Amino acid sequence: MATVWFILVALMLVGYVVLDGFDLGAGALHLLAARTDSERRLVLGAIGPVWDGNEVWLLAAGGTLFYAFPGLYASSFSGFYLALNIVLWLLVFRAIGIEFRMHLADSLWCSFFDGAFSAASTLLIVFFGAALGNVLRGVALDSSHYFFAPLWTNFQPGAAPGILDWYTVLCAVAALFAVSVHGALYLILKSSGDLNERLRGLIRWLWPPLVVVSAAALVATLFIRPELLRNYRAAPVAWVIPVCVAAGLWGMAFFTRARNERNAFLASCLYIVATLGGAAVALYPDLLPSSTGAATSITIDNAAAGASSLSIGLIWWAIGMAVAIGYFIVVYTMFKGKVRPGDGYH
Amino acid sequence: MNDALFLHRIHFAFTITFHYIFPQLTMGLAPLIVVLKTLALRTRDPAYDDAARFWTKIFGINFLAGVVTGIPMEFQFGTNWSRFSQLTGGVIAQPVAMEGVFSFFLESAFLGMFVFGEKRLSRKAHWWAAFLVFLGSWLSGFFIVAADGWMQHPVAYQRLPDGSFQVTSFWGVLANPWALIQYVHVMSGAVITGAFVMAAVGAFYVLGKRHQDCGRIFVRTGVIAGIIACVFQIFPSGDLHGRYMAHHQPVTTAGMEALFHSTAGAPMVILGQPDVERKTIDNPIVVNKALSFLIYGTTTAQVKGLDQFPTQDWPTNIPLLYFSYHVMAGLGTVFVAITALAVLLLWRGKLFDSRWMLWVLMLAFPFPYIANTAGWLTAEVGRQPWLVYGLLRTSDGYSSNVSAANTLFTLLGFMGIDALLTIFIMFLLARLIHHGPAALPETQLTGGAA
């Protein structure tokens, strides 16, 4: 049963990154790609109807994690205390950056919120990338499965690492490129004209470094934690995952060149799903490995809620998520297609 | 007092108190906006459309503020109260996660259509968007009260050998009688805030001789909704809540009333300052035997005082508990008087000529915020020294791996960000109210949707 919840929580987190990823990526590129007020309004119009719903995936995943793996929720949220609180502050700035800008047609007012939106989005991607790095690398858990990670120590992924070290920074950089490309491909799908062309140009610049940092992050991960390959050795069918990652990478470039906007975006989704899915497969059954020895690692067994909670939870989770996916289909159908200036909605 | 524990408590208290400024207004306004939209559909009077549109804009800004200040709440269980989360996640996270899955998704899907979609949708469809946002926000309130209700009055759980709590029935936590009683009390409290704010803005326009049509609609809707909610707040919901509390948390009731000694025919203290050291009340004004009557329905019943309970189980801050409760109950009574008078004048057709009454309505709007906050303080300070009543102490629940300095750092950070948010929100709301219900220039409604 704990394995089922491992899969469900992983699915929700992947759903969050795929969906909110394009909002965050659009934010990271906001100042760079959208030059005029009308282009910036178009970027905001493209994510306006959906960003809040996308962010709910993070909240729903957090709540589900709290329910199914209270041990992990308690330990990781308190252990990554500083980083998590900074993420919460950044979420405030991102939200007001998107929503308060429209209230005043004043250029200074708009510039301030454009800047807040873009800076907060960029830093959120960096923190989320570093978070993934921390989970793969492991933290200094004590015998009661708790820890407290400082923001940085000596930038080495040793036995008592900080949240930022060279490895997690590398993960953060990889996330920044991956999510920016994801956001750009979404905006290409939603835009036309100059903005669309400029974004295509950006993809040509962003794609090669994305391939390089993805490969570097993969090599670095296997260098610092070679045991992450154990599930791949045990079940060779899992090697299809890295093939999907490569296919996603190739697809982004190929379909962008072929001007197939939808497939290019789907290729980016595939890349994200496969990368995160691959990480989840590598971790299982660990949830948060320990850098001080496997005995103190947080696993699905020592962090899961009791049997009665896990089975009762499936009732509301299944009903609630089925309904939620229904809302998403309605909203995305309502707002599909290119955003035209003066659409009125946003 | 352990510094870290104290700071974790202040951290939660500050962030949740600031947060609740916004949901109490949005949960209170949502049904009123649905009423205005229903009237617009029925009467075809465009003034009701203008009125609904104006409050939808106010709602949108407050809703966003509620979202951004609310997200930290869900994460704070883990960051600042990790032992509590680890032990109770198998129960308390059910309503917390259900809030995300059942109400946040609902709200996020329909809020954009509600706030920005009036032109795109038919009148009926837009009414539905408003209704679904109302439903989502009231569901959200329910799940949070269910989580708190379980901490106040734990039900439907079993404890495993490791001390953790596990839920034993799907409906148990949701149908907790404490939660149901508290929910109606909390929601009618929110409607009081919404109604007073609406009446205040209306009075502001009528007194200033601007936007008179809408202003009168606001005053009328506000005072009528206000009197219903204010009366309901005291009877039956407040009365029921008080009796239930006296039954299940008698020591909290004794603390609320600062009843240090068990008394037959206990009096109710209207005013006075409790002196915990000397176990007396300074400057008391009392109504004899009223407390016994309110709790047990007879003037002679014995009410348990604090002396019946071990000191370590007393609420940890009796003066704060006592003042919170008295501020809440006192203001609640005043609200009934204000709205009753206003409705009487409205009925006699004199309300809009009674400038003094309009002044009162205009200036009264901060007080429901104070009363709602005081009500929550009563519930939560009254629950101390427990996190889970009778089962898990507050001192056993905080994140002992997070140092006092780190907690202070993030507390100061939240204070700074909340101050900034306050400035932006006050500016935008003042601007909207200054513009009034007349349509804003169209260009300013372009941008994101929430």
The model's confidence at residue B450, banded by pLDDT at 50, 70 and 90, is: very low
DSSP secondary structure code for residue B391 in this structure? T
Residue A164, helix vs strand vs coil: strand
Whether omega for the bond prior to residue B236 falls within 30 degrees of 0, making it cis, is yes
Q: Which of A1, A37, A55, A67 to mutate to test the interface with B (most CBs of B within 10 A)?
A: A67
For the segment A4-28, the average pLDDT, to the nearest whole number, is 97
d(CA B252, CA B166): 26
* B267 located within any domain: no
Q: Is A283 exposed, middle or buried (0-12, 13-18, 19+ CB in 10 A)?
A: buried
Q: Do B78 and A104 count as a contact with CB atoms less than 8 A apart?
A: no
pLDDT in tens, B78-97: 999 999 999 999 999 999 99
The model's confidence at residue B2, banded by pLDDT at 50, 70 and 90, is: low
Query: A268: closest CA among A168, A181, A202?
Result: A181
Q: Is A44 on the interface with B (CB under 8 A)?
A: yes
For residue B432, give how far its alpha carbon lies from the nearest alpha carbon of chain A (Å).
9
Q: Do B93 and A328 count as a contact with CB atoms less than 8 A apart?
A: no
Choose the closest CB to B82 out of A60, A78, A99: A78
The two beta strands, B268-275 and B280-287, are antiparallel
| CB contact set of A217 (below 8 Å; sequence gap of 6+) | A170, A171, A174
Tokens of A213: 């940092």
Tokens of A125: 């991607």
Question: What is the average pLDDT value for chain A, to the nearest integer?
Answer: 94
Q: Do A92 and B68 count as a contact with CB atoms less than 8 A apart?
A: yes
* B331 located within any domain: yes
Give the CA count within 13 Å in the CB-facing half-sphere of B268: 15
Choose the closest CB to B94 out of A56, A100, A313: A313
Query: B443: closest CA among A141, A18, A101, A142?
Result: A101
Chain B positions touching A102 (Cβ under 8 A) are 444-448
What was the pLDDT predicted at B440?
Answer: 53
* B295 located within any domain: no
d(CA B203, CA B257): 36
Q: Does residue B389 surpass a pLDDT of 80?
A: yes
Tokens of A62: 């957090």
Q: Does residue B444 surpass a pLDDT of 80?
A: no
Residue A163, helix vs strand vs coil: coil
The model's confidence at residue B439, banded by pLDDT at 50, 70 and 90, is: low
Q: Does residue B74 surpass a pLDDT of 80?
A: yes
Choose the closest CB to B64 out of A66, A95, A315: A95
Residue pairs spanning A and B at CB distance below 8 A: 250
pLDDT in tens, B322-376: 999 999 999 999 999 999 999 999 999 999 999 999 999 999 999 999 999 999 9
| Percent of chain B at pLDDT exceeding 70 | 97
Q: How many domains does chain B have?
A: 1
Q: Which of B101, B102, B442 to mutate to test the interface with A (most CBs of A within 10 A)?
A: B101
Q: Is B162 exposed, middle or buried (0-12, 13-18, 19+ CB in 10 A)?
A: exposed
Whether omega for the bond prior to residue B385 falls within 30 degrees of 0, making it cis, is yes
| CB contact set of B184 (below 8 Å; sequence gap of 6+) | B232, B237
Q: Does residue B121 surpass a pLDDT of 90?
A: no
Q: Is A140 on the interface with B (CB under 8 A)?
A: no
What was the pLDDT predicted at A49?
Answer: 87
Q: How many CB atoms lie within 10 A of CB A139?
A: 27
A307-334 and A51-68 are packed helices; what angle lies between their axes, rounded to 10 degrees? 170
Instruction: Give the helix/strand (H/E) hosting B264.
Output: strand B263-264
Beta bridge partners of B286: B269
Compute CA distances B356 → B202, B203, B262, B341, B352, whole Å.
14, 10, 45, 12, 10
What pTM value is reported for the model?
0.94
Q: Is A81 on the interface with B (CB under 8 A)?
A: yes
| CB contact set of A76 (below 8 Å; sequence gap of 6+) | A288, A298, B78
d(CA A205, CA A199): 10
What was the pLDDT predicted at B446?
Answer: 40
The amino acid that residue A276 corresponds to is L
Give the CA count within 13 Å in the CB-facing half-sphere of B241: 24
Give the domain ranges of chain A: 13-334
The model's confidence at residue A335, banded by pLDDT at 50, 70 and 90, is: confident
CA dihedral B19, B22, B25, B28 (to 10 degrees): -60
* CA dihedral sign of residues B274, B280, B281, B287: positive
Q: Is B25 exposed, middle or buried (0-12, 13-18, 19+ CB in 10 A)?
A: buried
Contact predicate A94/B422, CB 8 Å: no
d(CA B100, CA A55): 10
Which residue range forms the structural domain that includes residue B413? 3-262+304-445
For residue A63, give how far its alpha carbon lies from the nearest alpha carbon of chain B (Å).
4
For residue A182, give how far its alpha carbon lies from the nearest alpha carbon of chain B (Å).
20
Tokens of B211: 């936007």
Chain B positions touching A64 (Cβ under 8 A) are 93, 97, 100-101
Contact predicate A74/B90, CB 8 Å: no
Q: How many CB atoms lie within 10 A of CB B344?
A: 14
Q: Do B93 and A77 count as a contact with CB atoms less than 8 A apart?
A: no
Q: Is A101 on the interface with B (CB under 8 A)?
A: yes
* Residue found by looking up tokens 């089922």 in the block: A4
* B290 located within any domain: no
Q: Do A53 and B108 count as a contact with CB atoms less than 8 A apart?
A: yes
Say how far residue A137 (Cα) sits from the centre of its chain: 17
What was the pLDDT predicted at B273?
Answer: 93
Q: Is A235 on the interface with B (CB under 8 A)?
A: no
Give the CA count within 13 Å in the CB-facing half-sphere of A290: 18
Taking a contact as any Cβ pair under 8 Å apart, which residues of chain A between 57 and 76 contact chain B?
A: 59-60, 62-64, 66-67, 69-71, 73-76
* Residue found by looking up tokens 């800008």 in the block: A101
pLDDT in tens, B207-256: 999 999 999 999 999 999 999 999 999 999 999 999 999 999 999 999 99
What was the pLDDT predicted at B340?
Answer: 97
pLDDT in tens, A75-100: 999 999 999 999 999 999 999 999 99
